Structures are given as structure tokens and as C-alpha cells.
Amino acid sequence: MRDNGEKFDMVKALALHGVIRSYGPVKAVDDVSFDVAAGELVALLGPNGAGKSTLFQLLSGLFTPDRGRIEVMGHDMSRDPLPALAGLGIVFQQMTLDLELTVRGNLMFHAGLHGIPSAEAKRRIGEELERVGLTGDADKRVETLSGGNRRRVEVARALLHRPRVLLMDEPTVGLDPASRASLIATVQGLRSSQGVAVLWATHLCEEVADADRIVVLHKGKVLANASPAELMASQDAPTIEAAFLKLTSGGRESAAA
């Protein structure tokens, strides 16, 4: 799927350089380096406790690294946080919508936080709801929506300020298979049509088969950074799951080519 990357000149939309974050003696994120290009979907695959959540807290600016550097569209998150954070759209693992507001109300509130004028916000909300297939639900209270449609609202919200990087933290937790497949298809469309760089964190191997690259994270370390085919070949494994289990159970810390 590198054609998407070539279309957008493989700009490094997100880059991590030697990122470390410790909690006491434990390194939750241990010398992590990788990048995500414009139009590329990179899956961050790791078991529970691998460090994915800590890494996303660093990427979203909630915490700062002890060492290392995170760049969004060339902006250092520590030295130049405002343009760096402005380039990010985030869908957190836990839902963060206001259940009592309508879909439109949630999106208007988010647009206001980003200083988007009302008329422009209404136009963008219409565009994003159409993109995620929820045009007819704009005036419904979020509490009436299914889990899958709530996730779609969160994707629409994350895109309102036109980010260049979309962070998806275990976005399919609690979704049924049909909703999961639909959400994945929506995100695939975004990266191919808009050139949005996507980092998709998950512990589910079945979600990463169509990623451009898979970054395997285990005990805070990157064990592999490779395409699905390269990952399987490097471990002499017939499936992504088999390769993943081989890597994480063996504790190997060598990166795949």
C-alpha cells in the first residue's frame, strides 16, 4: 500500500527519536524510534502492558518524555507544542463525548476549542458527518447512538481542525465485528484520499493486516518495524499472529528489516 505514501511524497508527518519515559525504575517506553509518513497507516501492535498507552500519552502531549524527541510535521512537541499539537487528531481508547449533547453539539464545542468560526465549523461538521456516514444523526443525542456510531462521531471530531496525523488508541474496543470493519474502512479512506498519517494502536492482530507497517511494542521496546509480509518472513511464520507471538514470547529485541 505504499502507493498512498508515494502520492503524498512520504513526508514524515510523525517522528519519534529515542523516546524514553520511566515510572520509578520501570521504563514504560524504552528508547522508541519510528516514523509515520503522510498517507501511511502504521499499526502499533502490542499486548496489554506493552507501553502503548504511555506512548499515546506522550504523543498527545499529556506527558513529556524523560529523553528523546517527538515531532509532528517537523515541529518538536517539547519546544514548539502549539503547532505540533494542532497537527494531531486523537481518538482515545475511552470515549470522551458528552452523552447528553447532540452529535452536532459535541462537534461545535470541539470546533470552538480550536477557534474555528461558527459558520466554518458548521460547514466542516457537515463534511465530516457525511464522510463518516452520520449526516442523518447530527441532531441525535450521543447517548442514543450505538458504540460504533459514537466512534464515528469521535473520528469526525478528531478531523474538524484538519490534522495531518490521526492517533487511534485501541479504537475498536467494545465494537462488534461489523462496526470494527466499518471504522477501519473509514480510516483507510481518510489516509488514501486526504494524506492523513495514521497511527493505530491495538492488541488485535486481525486489525493490522492492511497496515503499511507494523511496529511491535513489548515491555516498552520496539521489537519490529516492518510490513506485514516482512514481519512474517522475519519470523518464518505463516500469519501475523504467529509472528507476533514468536516475537513477544521469545523476548527478542531485534528489529525486523
Report pLDDT digits (tens) over 115-164.
999 999 999 999 999 988 899 999 999 999 999 899 999 999 999 999 99
What's the pLDDT at 218?
Answer: 96
Do 223 and 231 meet the contact criterion of CB atoms below 8 Å apart? no
Report pLDDT digits (tens) over 32-53.
999 999 999 999 999 988 999 9
Q: How many Cβ atoms are within 10 Å of 19's Cβ, its own excluded?
A: 22
Q: What is the mean pLDDT of residues 24-38?
A: 95
**From CA 75, how far away is CA 68, in angstroms rounded?**
14
- Predicted confidence (pLDDT) at residue 250 exceeds the cutoff of 80: no
Q: Has residue 238 been placed in a domain?
A: no
Q: What is the mean pLDDT of residues 190-212?
A: 91
Q: How many domains does the chain have?
A: 2
Grid cell in block for residue 1? 500500500
What's the pLDDT at 11?
Answer: 64
Among 36-50, 57-71, 180-194, which is the least confidently predicted range? 180-194
What's the pLDDT at 1?
Answer: 41
1 and 72: one domain? Answer: yes
Going by pLDDT thresholds of 50, 70 and 90, the confidence category of residue 6 is: very low
Q: Average pLDDT over the chain, rounded to whole? A: 90
Report pLDDT digits (tens) over 87-126.
999 998 888 999 999 999 999 999 999 999 999 999 999 9
Strand partners, 23: 26
User: Phi and psi for 160 in degrees, rounded to 5?
Assistant: -60, -35
Among residues 87, 81, 91, the alpha carbon closest in space to that of 164 is found at: 87
79 and 173: one domain? Answer: yes
179 and 80: one domain? Answer: yes
State the residue range of the domain holding 114.
Answer: 99-162
151 and 210: one domain? Answer: no
User: Phi and psi for 90 in degrees, rounded to 5?
Assistant: -130, 130
Q: Has residue 92 been placed in a domain?
A: no
User: Phi and psi for 133 in degrees, rounded to 5?
Assistant: 75, 30
2 and 69: one domain? Answer: yes
* 90 Cβ contact list (under 8 Å, min separation 6): 60, 158, 166, 167, 169
Among residues 41, 12, 17, 40, the alpha carbon closest in space to that of 29 is found at: 17
